[in-house]
């Protein structure tokens, strides 16, 4: 069994275990409660498993510092990194000395990294349902739906973000399964400095 297949099985098992709950189905969590949870998520560190639409699986550490900042550090043997900070999203690829940069506002991640998350905004949420023990919300930029959408998966009691799926405008998708987030950790601002990280990356 190859590494990718083993990682996918392990990631799926971890997600199943983390979402285990009593047999009674949960009620749909209100959008106001989900917005309040995201707005209260100021700083956190945790692990993640990423699965692309091609089936490639990666793991690593995620750092979140709202508003506007997130960092994905991928575990070896993969040498890659993704950073959002200063209004940009930078993708660091080992085949290049310079990251590929995009305006953060043109990516679905900007929805959950916004200073004030308001899932009740007109035309932002296009889906809000219950799937077993989880509430699933599909959100988009209501003024620019061509940027793609993000599916957010939450558990209840207490509300926790467990997974998201980025649906790009080109039809591809990327799933990020979150481990437990440590919200007490101090996350250094330096981790989101794209210019400084570019210097270190090239060096």
How far is CA 40 from each of CA 66, 109, 161, rounded to the nearest angstrom? 9, 17, 12
Domains of the chain by start residue, with CATH: 3-13+26-202 (2.50.20.10)
Which whole number is the average pLDDT over 152-160? 95
CB atoms within 10 A of CB 31: 18
List for the chain the helix, strand, coil content (%; round to 5): 25, 35, 40
Which whole number is the average pLDDT over 13-37? 71
Residue-level pLDDT at 202: 75
pLDDT tens for each residue of 160-186: 999 999 998 778 899 999 999 999 999
Residue-level pLDDT at 24: 58
pTM over 0.75: yes
Which whole number is the average pLDDT over 22-46? 88
Of the pLDDT bands very low, low, confident and very high (cuts 50, 70, 90), residue 114 is very high
């Amino acid at each position: 069994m190859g590494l990718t297949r083993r990682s996918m099985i392990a990631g799926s098992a971890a997600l199943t275990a983390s979402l285990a709950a009593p047999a009674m189905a949960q009620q749909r969590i209100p959008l106001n409660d989900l917005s309040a949870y995201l707005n209260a998520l100021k700083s956190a560190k945790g692990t993640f498993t990423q699965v692309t639409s091609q089936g490639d699986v990666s793991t690593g550490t995620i750092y979140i510092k709202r508003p506007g900042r997130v960092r994905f550090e991928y575990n070896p043997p993969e040498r890659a990194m993704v950073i959002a900070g200063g209004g940009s999203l930078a993708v660091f690829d080992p085949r290049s000395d310079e990251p590929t940069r995009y305006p953060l506002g043109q990516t679905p991640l900007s929805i959950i990294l916004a200073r004030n998350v308001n899932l009740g905004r007109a035309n932002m949420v296009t889906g809000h349902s219950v799937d077993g023990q989880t509430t699933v919300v599909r959100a988009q930029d209501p003024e620019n739906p061509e940027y793609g959408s993000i599916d957010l998966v939450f558990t209840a009691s207490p509300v926790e973000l467990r997974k998201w799926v980025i649906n790009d405008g080109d039809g591809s998708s990327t799933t990020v399964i979150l481990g437990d987030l440590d919200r007490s950790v101090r996350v250094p601002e330096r981790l989101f400095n794209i210019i400084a990280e570019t210097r270190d990356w090239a060096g």
